[in-house]
Amino acid sequence: MSIARAVPLVAGLALIGGAGLIGSYVLQSSAYEPACSTPITYSIGSLDPRFGVSESEFQSVLAEAASVWNTAAGKTVVTYSKEGEIPVSLMYDERQKAAELGSAIDSDQEAYEAKRAEVDALVASHEAQSSAHEAALRAFERDKETYDAEVSRWNRQGGAPPAEYAKLEETRRSLERRQAAINREAGELNAAVSVINREVQKLNTLANKVNKKVDVYNAFAGHEFDQGQYVQDADGARITIYEFRTREQLVRAMAHEFGHALGIGHTEDPQSLMYPYNSGKNLELHEEDVAALRAICQD
């Protein structure tokens, strides 16, 4: 009898290096002290079309960011005017390219993780089936040795009596059925290995795709840079946003810069809107923000 064995699984999974995605952004600016009794006014400056943000969409973002301070102050302290004193612009450069690449890495990483989970499930199932196959094969080989020894014993005695012969024949047929089943299982396991290895190749392709983007991203993300900036100098006041990845992040960045325009500096509370890094999720002012606003407005 010839028994087929399952071939070992060959799956060289690639490891993805850490993407080093930026989770917070430095916002630096200078500030001056307007009279809180007179609202500061902003206008729409230049909008680079590569951001994909229309003027009406940007106007909505600015209004939402301004309302954060207006609500807290209980009056209008930041408002839009076509001829507003503070033009707000979106300037596209390497910073936004890096942010967009970071978003692409996130998407590719999700695809990789989904494929990795799929491959892991296939490998786990294959290993369980292989273990059961090997156990069945060992049991078969033990029973076959017992059968062969029994046949040899009766042959040395010139043959088995009819009743014993019938038992041996039944054992032989049972062993042949088991052998056929084991061979089928081995074929299925070997076919599964081919499937898994093809999926591993797809997984490694995804890993390479992510890693190449990570290398490019890290070239930009190895230093801190300004997400947005408020400037007040001889040329006047202005706000420029250089990069963002979501609308929520853009609104927070704008609210932060409006805070600077009101004359509020940075705070130490990571949950504060005026914290130097855009790492929070909410748009509500925290105690430090409110205290700074009241000091400016002398409430």
Domain definitions of the chain by residue range: 17-122+173-299
Q: CA angle at residue 124 from 121 to 125, to 5 degrees?
A: 85
- pLDDT for 151 equals 93
When pLDDT is averaged across residues 115-142 and rounded to a whole number, the result is: 92
Query: Whose CA is closest to 193, among 111, 134, 112, 130?
Result: 130
The structure tokens listed for 14 are 């690639």
Sequence-ordered strand ranges (E) for 51-134: 78-80, 86-90
Q: Does domain 17-122+173-299 have CATH number 3.40.390.10?
A: yes
Asked whether the beta carbons of 21 and 211 are under 8 A apart, the reply is: no
What tens digit of pLDDT does each residue of 16-73 get? 233 222 223 233 334 444 447 789 999 999 898 988 899 999 999 999 999 999 999 9
- pLDDT for 60 equals 96
When pLDDT is averaged across residues 104-120 and rounded to a whole number, the result is: 83
Instruction: Of 5-9, 86-90, 128-132, 166-170, give the lowest mean pLDDT range.
Output: 5-9
Q: How far apart are CA 296 and CA 50, in angstroms?
A: 37
Q: How far apart are CA 194 and CA 6, in angstroms?
A: 12
Instruction: Of 175-184, 222-231, 256-265, give the lowest mean pLDDT range.
Output: 222-231
- pLDDT for 213 equals 66
Q: Which residues contact 122 (CB under 8 A, 6 or more apart)?
A: 192, 195, 196, 199
- pLDDT for 100 equals 56
Q: CA angle at residue 271 from 249 to 52, to 5 degrees?
A: 5
Confidence of residue 219 (pLDDT cuts 50, 70, 90): low
- pLDDT for 298 equals 75
Asked whether the beta carbons of 66 and 239 are under 8 A apart, the reply is: no
Asked whether the beta carbons of 41 and 85 are under 8 A apart, the reply is: yes
Asked whether the beta carbons of 258 and 274 are under 8 A apart, the reply is: no
Work out the mean pLDDT of the chain and round it to a whole number.
Answer: 80
Query: Whose CA is closest to 231, among 29, 47, 46?
Result: 29
- pLDDT for 131 equals 93
- Alpha carbon dihedral 41, 44, 50, 54, in 10-degree steps, equals 110
